[in-house]
Amino acid sequence: MNYDNTSLPEEVQKYLAEIYNDEELRDVFYDCDIEIYDEDWIKDIEEDDAWLEELMGPGESSYSNLKPFGRDGTGALWVVIDDRMIGYIGTEGQCGIVARNIHEFMNIASVWGGYLCDYWDEDILASREAFYDTMNNPERLEQYENIERNRRVFEGFIKRHGFTKEIYEMAVGGITVEPFFIVKATTDEYVDSESLISPLDGQNKLEDLIKRLMNQGDGVSGSFLG
């Protein structure tokens, strides 16, 4: 399975092909709530002009170039933004950037080894200690039935691509990218999107996170798209 008949960037196509064509690898990403489909699914959604409104209601996105490449179990979409950054558009009015590029997204996902939403929290992202304590928390890992298999498969993926196990700066760098990815409602029946940090007052909490990181000098400037 290749994805060269889609409009996705070439580097994204290569990762999708690698994952989709390897059943074990596809399964471990599925356990992280990142569902990779075949080329036909992507082509269908590329031809669907209504998918963003179906998720977010009538609204205007702060980024116009959005290309879905996967889905999670709720029906939310993983998207490529401006052919570079990776974003998430939820089903409960949340959206945001999660990685500065596809390589960092794949690095984060394979090292984190579970639901990425586990670290979408102001207090967890505010320090390396809180981030890695959460990543290595046995209670978090116990929710995955195939944790040993997942670790083995991800370890091969990590080595194959020369990924680093130090992902904190990547995670912070993605979440704090500015300008923020926001969908502003265009009718009174809907409200503007919230950030991934929180379903309530999320944009303010995201801005608070950035201030905390800048004050303690422990973060990566989100405006630097490395």
Whether 224 has a pLDDT exceeding 70, the answer reads: no
Q: How many CB atoms lie within 10 A of CB 143?
A: 11
The pTM of this model reads: 0.94
Kindly indicate the confidence band of residue 142, based on its pLDDT and cuts at 50, 70 and 90: confident
Q: How far apart (Å, rounded) are the C-alpha atoms in residues 140 and 113?
A: 10
84-90 long-range contacts, Cβ below 8 Å, gap at least 24? 84/9, 84/225, 85/174, 85/177, 85/225, 86/174, 87/63, 87/181, 88/116, 88/196, 89/52, 89/55, 89/56, 89/183, 90/55, 90/196
Whole-number pLDDT of residue 217:
62
The C-alpha atoms of residue 59 and residue 77 are separated, in whole angstroms, by: 16
pLDDT at 58 over 60: yes
Whole-number pLDDT of residue 222 = 42
Residue 35 scores a pLDDT above 70 = yes
The radius of gyration of the chain's CA atoms, rounded to the nearest angstrom, is 17
Question: Does 226 or 160 have the greater pLDDT score?
Answer: 160
* Residue 161 CB contacts under 8 Å (≥ 6 apart), including other chains: 103, 106, 107
CA distance 208 to 212: 6
- Is 50 exceeded by the pLDDT of residue 221? no
pLDDT of residue 20 exceeding 50, the answer is yes
Q: What percent of the chain has pLDDT over 70?
A: 96
